[in-house]
Structure 1
């Protein structure tokens, strides 16, 4: 993508490559590799204009955007691998792993602490086992698994003068997040038409900030938060016709805050001590199916 932009200071240049290779290993086994490459050397930011500036030149850029060459650049690589064994004992085994590396830099359209960036390493893996069996005389389909991920961000911020001169350091910190989850889910056919579904998941998420920018008027803003949460789901579905069913589900879920949402509103630095995860209780009832006509 090479886009000159409608306004001044709005050029974009980006290169993107996606590739997928699958290798059959025989005996119901296979290995799949996915590569995703992004090079975004320039995404300019024209900034906002006052009404009088629009009347004068609606294709112009904000003066600060031009003076500071506002914009961002991104360089990212992703590698993913999946191994599958469809005859792993009586069931199916799936093992996945990934690694992401990202370099990001941005000049915001104002002087001050406006030049920022980070280097990110994000990696993890998961394993799942699927099996169909009989629980007594009742058919059961289940999956159990574990997944793990870790993200490490080396973040920095610099003070910039209006002429573009970098005048000093404004922030330097390392943000780390580690998550581990285990889960199980099963579908049990109580009759030919009635199916019971149950699922549970446990997550442990640790978020850590290590503040390396410590001065006489800027103390140590390091901090850490841990979340240990259970999630669950239960549902019933009734097939009143071969391709139609009525169903009801209930489930719980949670989502941790982002690092930026951890900012302490008291401006004392460190984590906001009152931040809790977002939680949801979902309830659903409905009909679904398809007709012979499509």
Structure 2
């Protein structure tokens, strides 16, 4: 006759196997196809989480951007801002993928520990049929893990949700990127005419390295809306317009302080003057207060958060010329 003690290990094994089965079934970004062994509820989940080739699609879009950048007067900052957002979202999804792999391995370890230390509780076997979102928030599972490990299990729930959200955001950003490229292509004739209107100029020596056109814009903006605490132009090694002498930053504050009051008003005035006189001065685009106004695709548009006052242009007006 079997005693209760002799029954416990076999039940514990069933609980452990159930947990390991769940851990193995957890979907990961980059999985080509759902596991054949995955329960139906997980199969649909895996099908969504399967990698649709985002990195490859993004690489194709990058090649289009590079080509347009050469044809449309250089430094398509508005388009590149969306490119930056898509790249950041894809990286986040990949980072979460690695986190989820590590978390999944932890669940397997916890399951093995459960088998070694605890007895049978048949309620644990429900995990093989449960949806991850329902499963990981269920207190029954947590009760089968030691108190100091419960937070790790809850973390997996958050990783699953975060990973799905990151994937959706990355796909949305790439859709936005495609839209921006399509918009620029639809304006090809107008943009080519605009680019042709302003013959490219060479960087200079003796004028701080800026082009004659940028020098004229710098002097005009300074005369009409200055003086400014400082104006910064050339930045050797910069792959965009600062490096080629076709951009200047008109600082309205110093020390990275957020522009408010009269400083913000001065920035507003400089940006508005540059936009209203863009055609006469050969201005390509203006960035001010985390917004960009590109003459090749007119209208103010918000930009991605770059993480700081200066990076987000809250202390200076950036002006680029053709």
TM-score, with structure 1 as normaliser: 0.19
As a proportion of its length, which structure holds more strand?
A: 1
Higher Rg of the two aligned structures? 2
Q: 1 or 2 for the larger relative contact order (CA 8 Å, sep ≥6)? A: 2
TM-score normalized with structure 2 length: 0.18
